[in-house]
Chain A
Amino acid sequence: MRSVPKHLEVSIWRGDSAGGYFEDFQVPAQKNQTILDVVSWIQQNEDATLSYRYACRVGMCGSCAMMVNGVPRWTCRTHVNKAMKGNRLEVAPLRNMPVIKDLATDMDVFFDKWVKAEGVHHPSKTREDVIEPITGDNIERAKANAGIECINCAVCYAACDTVRGNPNYLGPAALQRAWTVYNDVKDAGKRAVLAAVSGRDGCHNCHTQGSCTLYCPNDLDPMGAIAGLKRATIAAAFKKEVG
């Protein structure tokens, strides 16, 4: 069994969008400890001005993701042993988003892209209509189900080098949402979805590097969803449904 060191050597990024630096801390090691526990310990015991974001602590809310030793992770569900290199942890704000302060990023641009990708419900019925039953063996329903557990944590967005290269690229989370909406039998906006994702900043910008699918903490497959959108937009283009 691995011996537990007394202290962890932790570097925490401090600063804002103008720039910053890594500050070193020594954090008492515990047998069971998440990355979020480590960051919280520093904020509660070493420096109360350290800024970071979290809410539920159980992997539901998607607010605590950070770069841990260069890899995006949900910090509340990541055991220190899983991410540690030797005795060291380096915790930084998520990539591809402006930093507000320290470990907290401005996620506005990330959420704005969900709307840009038409990742919103387009009603096909009114409240007066009878609720249409959709059974579990419905093929579209199965495709939609594959993406609905997304918790908007932006881990995939931070992992994506295409977003890095083109800040206007809609990104894996928004495109996966668009694919989910596209497969919703009750959604009336399929053409609008395809039009929104077929532009130069849409699904065809994806280089299939697979970091989104690899790092998704909920084991979702945004890369597969984007491939689905690629097929759907190409089929629609042949039918002259989208330009």
Chain B
Amino acid sequence: MIQPHRKHPLWFAHILHRLSGLALALFVPVHFFVLSKAVTNPAALDGFLHWAESPLVKLAEFGLVFLLAVHIFGGLRLLALEFLPWSGPRKTLAAGAVAAGFLISVTFLLRAI
């Protein structure tokens, strides 16, 4: 349950940035573990890559690309908000970060299917 004082765009932008960051932090060790198989066990890597072609994994990858893109653009939003001499909430920046995240991840999905 989201408390009433949190129901506004900048708070949602904050929580999206925080959760996407946490999810990526969990993903990166798995990513490196799989990559390490190229050296330690190439056959296992080939098997994994074959499995990764399935539609469900592609859909999960879409989510992953969205998290990565929205985290990058969310971070750029924060840098702009804090390091440029602007004032006010600049909600368009938050919306832009989410839109850019969707643009990139949906482009990825369309190319993947």
| Residues of A that sit less than 8 Å from B by CB | 67, 69-72, 95, 146, 159, 161, 207-211, 213-215, 221, 223-224, 227-228, 230-231
Name the CB-closest residue of B to A146. B87
Q: Is the CB of A69 within 8 A of B4?
A: yes
CA distance A159 to B3 in the complex (A): 11
Cβ of A221: which chain B residues have Cβ within 8 Å of it? 87-88
Known: A70-B4, A161-B6, A210-B8. Contact between A224 and B88, CB under 8 A?
yes
Whether, in the assembled complex, B72 has its beta carbon less than 8 Å from a beta carbon of chain A, the answer is: no
Max chain A Cβ within 10 angstroms of own Cβ: one of B3, B4, B83, B85: B4
CA distance A209 to B7 in the complex (A): 11
Choice from A69, A208, A211, A228 contacting B78 with Cβ under 8 Å: A208
Min CB gap A48→B, angstroms? 30
Q: Is the CB of A70 within 8 A of B3?
A: yes
B 54-113 contacts with A by CB, 8 A: 78, 81-83, 85-89
CA distance A224 to B81 in the complex (A): 8
Min CB gap A82→B, angstroms? 13
- What string of 1s and 0s marks CB contacts (under 8 Å) between B16-30 and chain A? 000000000000000
Choice from B11, B86, B87 contacting A211 with Cβ under 8 Å: B11
Known: A211-B11, A214-B89, A221-B87. Contact between A227 and B5, CB under 8 A?
no
Cβ of B10: which chain A residues have Cβ within 8 Å of it? 208-211, 214
Whether, in the assembled complex, B14 has its beta carbon less than 8 Å from a beta carbon of chain A, the answer is: yes
Known: A69-B4, A221-B88. Contact between A231 and B83, CB under 8 A?
yes
Q: Is the CB of B87 within 8 A of A224?
A: yes
Cβ of A213: which chain B residues have Cβ within 8 Å of it? 88-89
CA distance A95 to B88 in the complex (A): 23
Min CB gap A215→B, angstroms? 7
Cβ of B85: which chain A residues have Cβ within 8 Å of it? 228, 231
Cβ of A71: which chain B residues have Cβ within 8 Å of it? 4-5
Q: Is the CB of B6 within 8 A of A227?
A: no
CA distance A70 to B3 in the complex (A): 7
Cβ of A211: which chain B residues have Cβ within 8 Å of it? 5-6, 8, 10-11
Min CB gap B41→A, angstroms? 42
Cβ of A227: which chain B residues have Cβ within 8 Å of it? 81-83, 86
Known: A208-B78, A210-B11. Contact between A70 and B5, CB under 8 A?
yes
Q: Is the CB of A208 within 8 A of B5?
A: no
Name the CB-closest residue of A to B18. A207
Min CB gap B25→A, angstroms? 17
CA distance A30 to B102 in the complex (A): 48
Cβ of B87: which chain A residues have Cβ within 8 Å of it? 146, 221, 224
Name the CB-closest residue of A to B10. A210
Name the CB-closest residue of A to B3. A70
